[in-house]
Each structure stands twice: as structure tokens, then as C-alpha cells.
């Protein structure tokens, strides 16, 4: 979330910048609530002072000739009146503060000055293309048909076991999926210096609040019916980023670079009718996540770095892709700037998102109270957090199945062959 001082002191300028994200800041409502908060705060503090003063009046009444019992009774009568009024004002203040919090929690992060204006994905700006689009001398099939011909991708059984938007993988396809995840982890840990983590696949409300999924996006989550409120993680960004929640790090600990391979669970609320065929949009999928916790002055350099780390996977797999910078209207609530990587899918003859890399600046850190001690001031300051997919394993599998298909089966990318026990080719089943 933003610093509320920004809303109090420079709301018009802030509203102008947030308009790039298509967000209309409720200026009048905020200012009205803020005025009420100030008045109630003053009244509450004055009543608290009166209560303190009244509590000390017993001795004065006794000196004026009252008995101790009379003095106590008189003071108690005054205290009771103050307490009733104070309770009323505190309740009003609490209600006003809750409304202010609702606004504060829903205000998006401020977009970086380099973020282009726009409403949706059609207004995103391409910054590069990499790789050559493959050509084929046969009718290209999508990943669903390729996976079925390899006898390794089964959506009907998954629907019987659970429902729609799930998949069962077997044989060579299952092995290829595992190989992709292991390859991604090895590149990020061995070449890019990330620390591999194994994290819980369930988190509490505080963790989801910290990274911004709650309270606004609760409908996108799978909530578990336990005595305690746990949620299945929508991405490893949640547990990884919350590793530093409530901490004050030493400056020497920055940057922190963490990666984890986890399942991800999303209800895909609002996406009904979109990508119903295949593995593009599922309730359960796997991802290798990249998270960096960095010094505030270095976060936009870190964004370029984390994006390049995700691009490396696509380049090593020789998968054609493009990089786009998201326009304001297509960005997430917490992002100050986001790059999407979109891989080429021959069956659709288009690029589809496979990674999203974002700089959240101090938006998540303020919610998490994740700080570092600045050696120049010796005072705690908020860190900046970044996250990116390095990559979505299922969508990478989709891209491999489609880009590496032949008339007889599937070629295995060279970099994956060691992870496949030396297998170079998966033949279609008769």
C-alpha cells in the first residue's frame, strides 16, 4: 500500500499519476473521511486529557472540605460521563479509520514514469523479439493433440478425478514437465545466484495481505476449511516475499534472491470461457518463482535483471518470444512497472504470456513492514520487493510441445536431454 501521508499531502498529483493505471482516486470521499478523522482524533485526545485530569481531582475536593467518599463519588460521576462520550467517539473514530483503510488498501501502486498509458493488453508496448518463428511441412497441432498422441496428456481423467481446468500427465510428458522445473531451478541457482527454497503451499491471511492478494482478491484464492484460516498459495511470491515480513534486515543482507518450485492454485474467477482448452489457464499449475528483496535505490535495475533471468530460460530452450512493457491499465495493483514475456505458440500463431516480472517498489514492504537499517542514517527504511516467473512450468511445456513437434513425435530440446536421461525424441504412440 501507499504511504497515507502521500494521500494527505499531495492527493491531486497522486490522482493524476494513478490515472495512468485507469484508477480514479476517490478524492472527495477521502478528504471528507480525513477531516472527520482529524476532528474525532482531537475530541478523543481532549476527552482522554479530561479523564486524566478528573482522576486527579479527588485530592482537590478533599482539600475543599469534602469527605473522601463524597469526593470519590463526585469524581466517578464525572468519569462515567467522560467514559460514555469517549467510548462513543472512539467507536466513531474506529469506523472512520476502517473506511480510510479500505480506501488505502485498494489504491494501486504508483506507476513508474516510463510506464505507457493504456487501457488493456492491446496498449502494451513491445520492446524486443527474440528467436525465429519455426515453419512446418505438416499441419501444426496444438499441445492438447500433441500430448494425446504421445499418450502423456489426459484431461478427461483429470475431469473425472477433480473437474475442469486440471490435467493428468504421464510417461514422457510427465518426465519432460519435471525436467523443465529442474532445469529452471539449476539455471537460477547455479548461474544467477538465487537461493533455492522449499516453502509451505498453504499460507495465512497475514501473508496474503502482505503481498496484496487480500482483501481485494479473495475470490481468486482457494480457502481451506480448517479451524485456522489457511489458503492455498496462488504463487510462491507469497511465502517467499513474506519471509522478511516484520523484519529489519542489515544492509549487507541485500539483495536477497530466492527461488522456489511450487504448485500454484487459482480459482480463475472472472475467466470463464477463456482458454478452456488445454493447459493455458488451470486451477493448479507449477511455477519456478523468482523473488528479490533489494535496496530502494536499486529496484529498477533489479527489474531489468530479474526479467533477463527469466528470458535466459527461453533462450536456452530456443523458444521464440517477445518482451512487452505493460501499460498502466494492464498492470497489477501492486506493480510500479511490469515486463511480460510472451512465448510463440505455433497452433495459435500468436505470442502468449509465460512470465510476468514486476517491481513492487515499497508497496508490499509497507504492508509487510519489511525494512532494512540504512547505514547512512542508522534508521529502518522499507525495502523494495520484486517478483517474476522463471518460468511457468506448464506453459513452458505447452510451448515445447508445440514448437518442437514433428510429424512423427516430439524432439527434446538439447538443454533438457540430460534431465531426460539422454532421451532425444518422444515418438507418437501407434
Which of 207, 358, 395, 402 is an active site residue?
A: 395
267 is in an annotated binding site: yes
Longest dimension (CA), the chain: 110
List the catalytic residue out of 356, 366, 367, 371: 356
> Is 281 a residue of the active site?
yes
Annotation says 165 is catalytic: no
**Is 98 assigned a ligand-binding role in the annotation?**
no
91 assigned to a ligand binding site: no
∠ CA 321-178-315, nearest 5°, is 25
In the set 51, 245, 281, 352, the catalytic residue is 281
266 is catalytic: yes
CA dist 302 and 385 (Å) reads 10
The string of DSSP codes covering 243-305 is: GGTT-EEEGGGPSEEEEEEEEEE---TT-TTSS-STTSS-SEEEEEEEEEEE-GGGHHHHHHH
Confirm or deny that 242 is annotated as ligand binding: no
Given the residues 17, 165, 266, 366, select the one marked as catalytic.
266
The answer to the question of whether 170 is labelled as a binding residue is no
17 catalytic? Reply is no
- Report, in angstroms and rounded to the nearest whole number, the Rg of the chain calculated over CA atoms: 28
Q: Which of the following is catalytic: 178, 353, 373, 381?
A: 353
Estimate the crossing angle of helix 171-186 against helix 393-403, to 10 degrees.
120
End-to-end CA distance of the chain: 56
Binding residue per annotation — 353?
yes
241 annotated ligand-binding residue: no
Q: Bridge-partner residues for 291, per DSSP? A: 258, 387
Residue 266 assigned to a binding site: yes
User: For residue 294, what are the β-bridge partners?
Assistant: 384
3-state secondary structure of 337: strand
Asked if residue 289 belongs to a known ligand binding site, the reply is yes
User: Which residue numbers belong to the known binding site for ATP?
Assistant: 266-268, 353-356
User: Which residue numbers belong to the known binding site for L-serine?
Assistant: 235-237, 266, 289, 387, 389
Instruction: Give the residue numbers marked as catalytic.
Output: 266, 281, 353, 356, 395
User: Which residue numbers belong to the known binding site?
Assistant: 235-237, 266-268, 289, 353-356, 387, 389
Amino acid at each position: 500500500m501507499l504511504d497515507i501521508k502521500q494521500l494527505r499531502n499531495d492527493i491531486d498529483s497522486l490522482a493524476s499519476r494513478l490515472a495512468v493505471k485507469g484508477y480514479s482516486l476517490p478524492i472527495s470521499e477521502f478528504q471528507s473521511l480525513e477531516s472527520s478523522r482529524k476532528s474525532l482524533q482531537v475530541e478523543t485526545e481532549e476527552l482522554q486529557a479530561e479523564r486524566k485530569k478528573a482522576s486527579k481531582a479527588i485530592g482537590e475536593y478533599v482539600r475543599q472540605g469534602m469527605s473522601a467518599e463524597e469526593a470519590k463519588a463526585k469524581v466517578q460521576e464525572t468519569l462515567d460521563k467522560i467514559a460514555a462520550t469517549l467510548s462513543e467517539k472512539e467507536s466513531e473514530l474506529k469506523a472512520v479509520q476502517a473506511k480510510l483503510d479500505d480506501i488505502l488498501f485498494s489504491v494501486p501502486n504508483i506507476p513508474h514514469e516510463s510506464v505507457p498509458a493504456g487501457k488493456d493488453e492491446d496498449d502494451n508496448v513491445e520492446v524486443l523479439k527474440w528467436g525465429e518463428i519455426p515453419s512446418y511441412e505438416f499441419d501444426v497441432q496444438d499441445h492438447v493433440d500433441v500430448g494425446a498422441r504421445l499418450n502423456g496428456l489426459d484431461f478427461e481423467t483429470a475431469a473425472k478425478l477433480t473437474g475442469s481446468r486440471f490435467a493428468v500427465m504421464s510417461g514422457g510428458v510427465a518426465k519432460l514437465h519435471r525436467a523443465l522445473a529442474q532445469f529452471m531451478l539449476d539455471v537460477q541457482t547455479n548461474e544467477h545466484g538465487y537461493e533455492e527454497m522449499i516453502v509451505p503451499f498453504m499460507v495465512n491471511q497475514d501473508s496474503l495481505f502482505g503481498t496484496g492478494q487480500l482483501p481485494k482478491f479473495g475470490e481468486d484464492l482457494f480457502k481451506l476449511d480448517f479451524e485456522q484460516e489457511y489458503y492455498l498459495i496462488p504463487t510462491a511470491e507469497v511465502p517467499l516475499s513474506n519471509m522478511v515480513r516484520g523484519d529489519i534486515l542489515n544492509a549487507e543482507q541485500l539483495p536477497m534472491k530466492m527461488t522456489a518450485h511450487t504448485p500454484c492454485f487459482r480459482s480463475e474467477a472472472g475467466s470463464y470461457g477463456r482458454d478452456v482448452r488445454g493447459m493455458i489457464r488451470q486451477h493448479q499449475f507449477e511455477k519456478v518463482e523468482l523473488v528479490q528483496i533489494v535496496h530502494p535505490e536499486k529496484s529498477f535495475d533489479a527489474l531489468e535483471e530479474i526479467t533477463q533471468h527469466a528470458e535466459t530460460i527461453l533462450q536456452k530452450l530456443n523458444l521464440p518470444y517477445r518482451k512487452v512493457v505493460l501499460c498502466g491499465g494492464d498492470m497489477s495493483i501492486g506493480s510500479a512497472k511490469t515486463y511480460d514475456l510472451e512465448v510463440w505458440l505455433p497452433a495459435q500463431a500468436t505470442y502468449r504470456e509465460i512470465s510476468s516480472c514486476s517491481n513492487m517498489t515499497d508497496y508490499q514492504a509497507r504492508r509487510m513492514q519489511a525494512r532494512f537499517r540504512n547505514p547512512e542514517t542508522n534508521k529502518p527504511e522499507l525495502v523494495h520487493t520484486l517478483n517474476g516467473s522463471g518460468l511457468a512450468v506448464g506453459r513452458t511445456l505447452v510451448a515445447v510441445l508445440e514448437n518442437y513437434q514433428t510429424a512423427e513425435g516430439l524432439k527434446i530440446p538439447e538443454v533438457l536431454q540430460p534431465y531426460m536421461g539422454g532421451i532425444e525424441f518422444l515418438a507418437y504412440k501407434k
